Amino acid sequence: MATEVKAAVFEVPALTYPYEALEPYIDAQTMHLHHDKHHQAYVDNANAAIAKAPELANKSAEEILANLSAIPEAVRGALRNNAGGHVNHSMFWAIMGPNAGGPPTGPVADAIKKTFGDFAQFQEKLNDAGVKQFGSGWTWLALGASGLQVLSTPNQDSPISQGLHPILGNDVWEHAYYLKYQNRRAEYLKAWWNVVNWAEVNKRYEAALKK
Ligand code: MN3
């Protein structure tokens, strides 16, 4: 009997903390909808696209995003949006946590200071990029050939597709904040720093330095 080889499929990673753990900055209902419904939809849509292009089944979502021009045109847009959504949100859950926030620690703290002057100037820059991102998107700290940089991207576009390594990112889609903050995106961006897990951000920074 032939062994059935199951194609690799993407899965939503479980949260490592309770849904209510980021209160009062991010409410439990937003976390439930965002993690269980929105992220699941990106994963389902990415898997549906892979099913149409099974030659991609052995590629990681990051590999797909790093070279979108190599992806068959029939599924390129779907994977840009949905593999992007999967990678972006997987990072997002990981870089947040309870009993977090405060000033950065470790090597990323030094790099932020060196690049942006101090933490406050970096926060202002990242928040500003988030406020100015028209419509839906993300605001990022990413590592590139010339060091750290702040950028924003529309929709679920990943800095990976620009040859950058995302270190930290905040979701400025309305689904990330609307239940609690309504139209007040700037207020959400400011509050979000209270849930940043710098230990995890440092892990990503140190991994990116080696790439
Ligand atoms: Mn989102």
**181 C-alpha to center of ligand 1: Å?**
15
- DSSP annotation of 37 reads I
205 CA to centre of own chain: 14
Summarize pLDDT for 113-126 with one digit per residue, the tens.
Answer: 999 999 999 999 99
H helix runs in the chain, sequence order: 28-31, 40-52, 61-66, 73-94, 106-116, 119-132, 178-181, 185-192, 198-209
**207 C-alpha to center of ligand 1: Å?**
24
**121 C-alpha to center of ligand 1: Å?**
25
CATH number of the domain located at residue range(s) 106-209 in this protein: 3.55.40.20
Nearest CA to 96 out of 184, 2, 209, 15 is that of 15
Average pLDDT score over residue span 185-202: 98
**180 C-alpha to center of ligand 1: Å?**
15
Q: Where are the domains of the chain?
A: 27-94, 106-209
Average pLDDT, the chain: 95
> How many C-beta atoms surround the C-beta of residue 174 within 10 A?
15
**114 C-alpha to center of ligand 1: Å?**
30
CATH superfamily of 27-94: Fe,Mn superoxide dismutase (SOD) domain (1.10.287.990)
**154 C-alpha to center of ligand 1: Å?**
12
108's tokens: 């990323």
